[in-house]
Chains A and B, each alone.
Chain A
Amino acid sequence: MQPLTNRAQAVNRAPLTWWERIYLPAIIGGMAITLKHFFKKKPTINYPEKTRPFSPVFRGLHILNRDEQGRENCTACGLCAVACPAEAITMEAAERLPGEEHLYREEKYAARYEINMLRCIFCGLCEEACPKDAIYLSETFAPSDYQRKQFIYAKNDLLIPHPEKEPEAYKKALGNRAGKKRSEIG
């Protein structure tokens, strides 16, 4: 068949020379390479003791955000559940009652918010879909466990610690982004 383009370039398939035919040069060359690696610095990360830095946009375990006064941001609009290709998010909305303004930022809130981590594929579409700055994926990977029922993460497990009641834990959740203003992070 004639060439279809003018960019074809045949690969080098030269037959073996006599020198190469006696097996040894390639074997010895290979052994030299492997010996070189023997003395090389190992890139291994001793995982449980040391961790590899995750990228700041890593898509791990979800976290439900609160605002500075500790009110939940989520308004139960349901966009995350719609966007979820795995249908892993279940939520029930409820109206905010008078006197609950310190708990919820919007008039509606998620009374129940569950994510099935075994279904979740960590695609990040929920984070993208959220119009209320409420759900984020974090740099924590979801830990393994022994029983399937353990993987339904309820609202309690997902909410970020309260910034006033548990300032320590809240700070930990913010990580090294604590102290930066929202606008700086963008």
Chain B
Amino acid sequence: MPIMSEDILLPEGAGEKQTTTLNLGPTHPATHGVFQNILELDGERILKATSTVGYIHRAFEKIAERRPLYQITPLTDRLNYCSSPINNMGWHLTCEKLLGVQTPKRVDYLRVIIMELARIADHLICNSIVGVDSGAYSGFLYLMQYRELIYEIYEEVCGSRLTTNIGRIGGFERNFTNTAFEKLEKFLKEYPEQLNEFEKLFKRNRIFMERTIGCGPISAERALNYGFTGPNLRAAGIDYDVRVHTPYSSYQDFEFTIPVGTTGDCYDRFLVRQQEMWQSLSIITQAYKKVQEFKGQEAEVYHADTPAYYLPEKKDVYTKMEALIWHFKIIMGETAIPPGEVYHAVEGANGELGFYLISDGGRTPYRLHFRRPCFIYYQAFPELVEGGLLSDAIITMSSLNLIAGELDA
């Protein structure tokens, strides 16, 4: 039975309107979860986009005000969950900066290895998802196999695959095992091959290039004004990298270049991420070499010597009173935290991941703010897609690498 037009209540003025309003998300497959975009379409061309976020807002900053420092590490895991080790390390580095803890070189290099692995894990997801959203699914699964390998390395080091909770203030919770290094070697050997193959699938494929070139472009000035950082800013042509500008964790000891694009479109972002993966591989190789150079006693160092913040060894806890007292103090969060404020940034997979920590000397932070790169550059999304087609919006969204956990915190 056909429905008469008067049965349907149309919004005011719908009869005259020549455009369509399309609700993209929150459960649309390409929004990877949780962004809502209300698009005003003329045919398939986007006239206006309005984005809504906050669908997985979890009140990290409020939780952090109730937790001692070490308990915040699991929270940072869940910021950008594709590369949680970077967040973990960023948080530990922030704490170390506030507490004045000096880490030994070996710890720095191990951290660099883990962070760069995380960067690769993140970039490979992002780039292969760009492939998936443009319709080619296989490349995604090829690269995912190597992400499994990265996860195996994490698992060997910290016992978990994704939300790693890796590292402690002052170092790692345990030394890297030989298995971990073997897996790392395997990864270093096999991954470049696969990455090359992935590039062959996409990099010079005209269909892919036409889909991405000129899609969601942004100029360097606008990108800066919008607070872009990380690969997205570099794709726009600005060689800003926290690892180079404010080196942390001994990044100054490594040779690497900053890949930059020119137009800031999806293809540039793709290429920049691709190139960064190569750079990361080279950094890992260098760091691994440096780690191997430590011999004897030095090769056993995996944490800083700070009894006030790093848990004593278990067997001492079982037997020695002093160690037990420190143990209790650290777990209860009673060790002295100097009052002060500190901002520390690391180069997260998506850009400058900053931690602004204000301490009033209590057992928990007085205020902790995460500078989440995603959240800041997502506001440019309407500007990026307006004037493009619906398909462009989808590719742009995936090539920005929006991670909901980071965006909404």
Contacts and interface: CB of A to CB of B under 8 A. Distances in A.
Q: Do A and B come from one complex?
A: yes
Interface of A: 1, 3-5, 7-13, 16, 20-23, 26-27, 29-30, 33-34, 37, 43, 54-55, 57-59, 79, 82-83, 85, 121-125, 128-129, 131-133, 137, 186
B84 to A, nearest CB: 11
A34 B137 CA distance: 11
Contact of B239 (A7, A20, A29): A7
Nearest to B153: A55
Q: How large is the interface on B (under 10, 10 to 19, 20 to 34, 35 or more residues)?
A: 35 or more
11 contacts: A7-B241, A11-B259, A11-B261, A16-B206, A26-B205, A57-B157, A58-B159, A59-B159, A79-B332, A83-B71, A131-B324
B39 interface: no
Nearest to A22: B206
Contacts of A13: 261-262, 267-268, 271
Interface string B56-79: 000000000001001101110100
Contacts of B275: 9, 11
Interface in B151-175: 152, 155-160, 163, 165, 173-174
B261 A124 contact: no
Given A16-B209, A57-B174, A124 B200 contact: no
Given A10-B262, A13-B262, A20 B206 contact: yes
Candidate in A4, A7, A27 with the most chain B CB atoms within 10 angstroms = A7
B260 A124 contact: no
B260 A11 contact: yes
Contact of A21 (B201, B206, B258): B206
A54 B152 CA distance: 9
Given A26-B204, A26-B207, A125-B165, 14 more contacts: A10-B259, A11-B260, A26-B205, A30-B201, A30-B205, A37-B142, A57-B157, A57-B159, A58-B160, A121-B74, A123-B77, A125-B74, A129-B331, A131-B327
A64 to B, nearest CB: 16
B70 A132 contact: no
Interface stretch (B290-298, B312-320, B344-352, B399-407): B312-320
Contacts of B260: 8-11
B70 A125 contact: yes
A79 B331 contact: yes
The 4 A-B residue pairs with the shortest CB-CB distance in the complex, in nearest-first order: A8-B239, A26-B205, A11-B271, A57-B159
B261 A85 contact: no
Contacts of B272: 11
A7 B179 contact: no
B50 interface: no
A13 B271 CA distance: 8
B238 interface: yes
B158 A57 contact: yes
Contacts of B148: 43
A91 B111 CA distance: 36
A10 B173 CA distance: 39
B174 A1 contact: no
A125 B160 CA distance: 13
A128 to B, nearest CB: 6
Contacts of A29: 200-201
B138 A34 contact: yes
B74 A5 contact: no
Contacts of A5: 239, 241, 244-245, 258
A58 B157 CA distance: 9
Interface in B235-256: 237-241, 244-245, 256
A58 B315 CA distance: 20
